[in-house]
Amino acid sequence: MKYPVLRFVFDRKHTASKTTKGTVQIEILFERKRKWLSTGVRLYSDQWSEKTKVKNTVQSLDLNERLDTQMRNINEFINGLVKNKEPFSFDKLEHFLKYSQTKESFIDFIKRRVSERTDLRRGTLNTHASLITSLEEFGRIVYFTDVTTANIMHYDNFLHRKYNKQTTIHGYHKRLKRYINEAIKYDLLKDNPYNKLKFERGKSEGIKYLTLEQIKQIQGLKTTSESIERVRDLFVFQCFTGLSYADLFNFDFSGVIKRGNKFFIRDVRVKTEEEYFLMLLKPAMEILQKYDFKLPVISNYQYNLRLKVVQELARIKQNLHSHMARHSFAVMALNMGVSIENLAKMMGHTDIKTTQIYAKVLNKSVQEEFEKMDSKL
C-alpha cells in the first residue's frame, strides 16, 4: 500500500522578495498528484532555508515549532492509516484537517466566523475582511497562542505605521477584540488581552462638504483634458444625486423610473443594502445626456487621484475626495428645506441618526455666522 511523501515548500508562486512575503506550504505528493496546504506562515525571501527552515527573524524558534507541529499532526494521521492498514486518499486527509482541532488557526477562525455570519451587510463584511488582510500582513497574530498583550501592542505599532487617523486604527482594534471575545465563548481562548490595554478612540474630523457656490465653481471648470473633464462631471453628478462611489459605479440608467417628465432612481445601496429613492435633478440629467446616459467608469483610486487636479484647477481649498460629494448633497438638500426624514430616504440611511449628523453641521455653520455678525456689531 502506498502512502504520501510530505515536505515544506516556500514561495511556490515565486512572489517573495526582501520587501514582499511568500507563503510556507506543506506539499503532499501521492501517486503523481500534488496538493499544497498553507501553514499560515509568511516570510521574506531571506528568512527561509531548506535546511533550517525559518531564519533571520526573532520569531524563528516559534515559527519553526509551529511548522513542525503541523507536519507532525499530518504524519501522525498517516501513521494511523499505516497501522490500521487503511489506504490513503486526499479526501480522508481533507476530512481529518477539517475536523482536527489543531488545524484551525486564529485567522482561520476569524475567516470562518465572518463567512458564517448572516447579520453583516456587504459593506460591513468588507471592513471585517480588511481585518483579516491586516492580520495576515502583520504576520505575528496567526495562531491562538499569538493572541497576547505584547503582540497586540506590536499590532498597534504596525497600524500606526500604516494609518494616520486614530479612528481608523481604533476600528481595527474594535473588530479584533470582538473575534477574541468570540474565541473565548468557544473555549478557544481563556482571556482577552484587550482587558489590560486601552487604545484611544480618536476624534472624528467632522463632515467635509462643499457649498453650492463651490459646486458650481467645479461645474464651470474648463479643461482641455478629457480624463479630468470626465472626473469633474462624475463628481458634479454625485453632488446632485448624493450617490456614493460604489452606488455610482453600479448606476444603470435603464433602471431609472420615469414619472411625467421627471426621472427617479429607486435602488438599493451597495454598502447597507438599504433602499434609497431620489429624483435626478437638472444638472445630473445634463451630465447623463452628455454621455448618452452611460456614465464613464473609473477606479475609486484613479478617481480620487484626478480629483486633486480638479481641486487645484477649480481653486478649491478643501481636499476633494469622492465621498465629499455625498456630504455636499446632504448639506445642500437641508439648506434648501428638505426634511431630515426625506433626506434619510434619499441617502439610503439605515438609521436617521446618521442623517442628523448633517443637521448638526448646519447648526454649527449657523452659529459661526452669528459669531461673525456679533464681532462686527
Q: pLDDT of 151-179, one tens digit each?
A: 899 999 999 998 888 888 999 999 999 99
| pLDDT at residue 275 in the model | 87
| 3-state DSSP assignment of residue 263 | strand
Report, as an integer, the average pLDDT of 187-193: 87
Whole-model pTM over 0.75: no
Residues 270, 247 contacting (CB under 8 angstroms): yes
| pLDDT at residue 367 in the model | 56
* pLDDT band at residue 355 under the 50/70/90 scheme: confident
| pLDDT at residue 238 in the model | 95
* pLDDT band at residue 205 under the 50/70/90 scheme: low
pLDDT digits (tens, 9 = 90+) for 90-138: 988 887 776 554 457 899 899 988 887 776 666 677 788 899 999 998 9
Phi, psi for residue 158 in degrees, rounded to 5: -60, -45
* pLDDT band at residue 349 under the 50/70/90 scheme: confident
Residues 4, 78 contacting (CB under 8 angstroms): yes
Spatial distance between the Cα atoms of 249 and 322, rounded to a whole number of angstroms: 12
The percent of the chain in helix, strand and coil, each rounded to the nearest 5, is 55, 10, 35
Report, as an integer, the average pLDDT of 222-235: 95
Instruction: Tell me the fold of 212-376.
Output: hpI Integrase; Chain A (1.10.443)
| pLDDT at residue 89 in the model | 92
Over 90: is that where the pLDDT of 40 sits? Answer: no
Per the prediction, the chain carries an average pLDDT of 87
| pLDDT at residue 270 in the model | 80
**Residue 208: which residues within 8 A CB-CB, separation 6 or more?**
318, 319, 324, 327
Choice between 358 and 236, residue whose per-residue pLDDT is larger: 236
Where are the domains positioned within the chain? 5-99, 106-196, 212-376
CA 54 to each of CA 16, 59, 198: distance values in angstroms, whole numbers, following the listed order:
14, 8, 33
Over 80: is that where the pLDDT of 273 sits? Answer: no
Instruction: Please state the separation of Cα 8 from the chain's center in Å.
Output: 32
Choice between 199 and 372, residue whose per-residue pLDDT is larger: 199
| pLDDT at residue 375 in the model | 62
| pLDDT at residue 8 in the model | 96
| pLDDT at residue 122 in the model | 66
Phi, psi for residue 52 in degrees, rounded to 5: -105, 0
| pLDDT at residue 342 in the model | 86
Spatial distance between the Cα atoms of 258 and 359, rounded to a whole number of angstroms: 31
Spatial distance between the Cα atoms of 76 and 6, rounded to a whole number of angstroms: 12
Choice between 169 and 203, residue whose per-residue pLDDT is larger: 169
Spatial distance between the Cα atoms of 278 and 262, rounded to a whole number of angstroms: 11
| pLDDT at residue 34 in the model | 94
Spatial distance between the Cα atoms of 375 and 4, rounded to a whole number of angstroms: 84
What cell numbers appear for 154 in the block?
506590536
| pLDDT at residue 127 in the model | 83
| pLDDT at residue 233 in the model | 96
* End-to-end Cα separation, the chain, in angstroms: 99
Q: What is the CATH number of domain 106-196?
A: 1.10.150
CA 143 to each of CA 4, 76, 195: distance values in angstroms, whole numbers, following the listed order:
27, 21, 19
| pLDDT at residue 377 in the model | 41
Spatial distance between the Cα atoms of 301 and 278, rounded to a whole number of angstroms: 27
Of 345, 364, 344, nearest in space to 354 by CA? 344
| pLDDT at residue 35 in the model | 94
What cell numbers appear for 286 in the block?
445634463
Strands (E), 44-177: 48-49, 53-54
- Cα 147–Cα 57–Cα 7 angle in degrees, nearest 5: 85
Of 127, 134, 177, nearest in space to 157 by CA? 134
Of 279, 278, 268, 282, nearest in space to 346 by CA? 278
Identify the burial level of 110 via C-beta atoms within 10 angstroms of its C-beta, where 0-12 means exposed, 13-18 middle and 19 or more buried.
buried
Question: What strands, in cross-sheet order, belong to the sheet with 262-268?
Answer: 257-259, 262-268, 275-279
**Residue 296: which residues within 8 A CB-CB, separation 6 or more?**
230, 233, 234
| pLDDT at residue 83 in the model | 85
